[in-house]
Amino acid sequence: MKKEVNINDIAKETGFSMMTVSRALSDSSLVSTKTRDKINKITKKRSYIPNYSAGNLKSGKSGFVIVIIPSLRISIFNEYFTGLRETLEEKKYQSLVDVTDYSLEKEESIITKFLGYKPEGIILAGTKHTKKTKEILLRSNILLIETLDMNHKPLDIIVGFSNYNAGYEITDYALSKKYKKILFVTSSSTHMEQETRGAKRLEEYTDRMSKQKLKPNNFHISDPLDYVRSVEEIFEHYKKNKSKIDCIIAFNEMTGLEILNTTIRNKIKVPAQLGVAGKGYASVNDFLTLKITTIDTNQYKMGKIGSH
């Protein structure tokens, strides 16, 4: 087994002091470009991996920002993270990223572990957390940014939008197009206890329908991340209840797009026979001839602002 290369080995090979090597690796302005290039050439040749721990303890800065996302299987989160990552890179920060799969307990576990890296900031998708997570975050005294939702009692900073309004506005638009038998598709009640954004949209859909003196009609799918299975369940329900449904509003854009695809495949005329809508704008919508009606939540821009 080869001996691990350390900073002393790099210093001996380059002829510079360990202090100079350390400064060069941290991209310090105190080191000339010529010196830095020589040191970088040797570190690459020797496959040297710097240990930043000591420097981090001394400076109190790690250069890390924690980013926790519910899923990377939904395009809005991909676009959101792209915007977020671009801004962090511009500011010379490295993101520590993990996925909760919509589990608040998993979020709690990730945060507890990641705080050991002494991050300089934490960016979370959502405002719903366990009691212990809130306590940990508030005790950490680290800059915290919650995104993709709004909350009347933020833990620190929020960059988001009202999911209540999103549910209301998309329903209001469907009603303005003369649809009256609107089916609102969302995840299971158990899932919505963890992912409260969907619950908020459902609540406002219900309020808007009731305001119009129309009966709310919602359908719970079993797995919100399995789009094929979800739409199979939705269309099975639709076929049995055609006379009671003239429009389907999906709780996210990927489910909505799959519903639209299935309606076309089944020769159902959209929007004449069935209206189809969703929440969250997916860039793939730009390539479709028949586009899904949706609300653009500007997730890319939200990621840019949230990490600014």
Per-residue pLDDT of the chain in tens (308 residues, 90 and over written 9): 456 778 888 888 899 888 888 888 776 677 888 988 898 888 888 877 766 555 554 555 678 899 999 988 777 888 899 999 999 999 889 899 999 998 999 999 999 999 888 899 999 999 999 999 999 999 888 999 999 898 888 899 999 888 888 889 999 999 999 999 999 999 888 878 888 888 888 999 999 999 999 999 999 998 877 878 889 999 999 999 999 999 999 988 888 888 999 999 999 999 999 999 988 776 767 767 788 888 888 888 888 988 87
Within a domain: 114: yes
Residue 153 and residue 173 in one domain: no
Total structural domains in the chain? 3
CA 172 to chain centre: 26
Within a domain: 284: no
Residue 128 and residue 197 in one domain: no
Residue 191 and residue 224 in one domain: yes
Give the domain CATH number at 153. 3.40.50.2300
Helix axis angle, 227-240 to 253-265, nearest 10°: 60
Reduce the DSSP state of residue 65 to 3 states and report it: strand
pTM: 0.76
DSSP string for residues in 120-136: SEEEEE-S---HHHHHH
Within a domain: 295: no
Residue 65 and residue 137 in one domain: yes
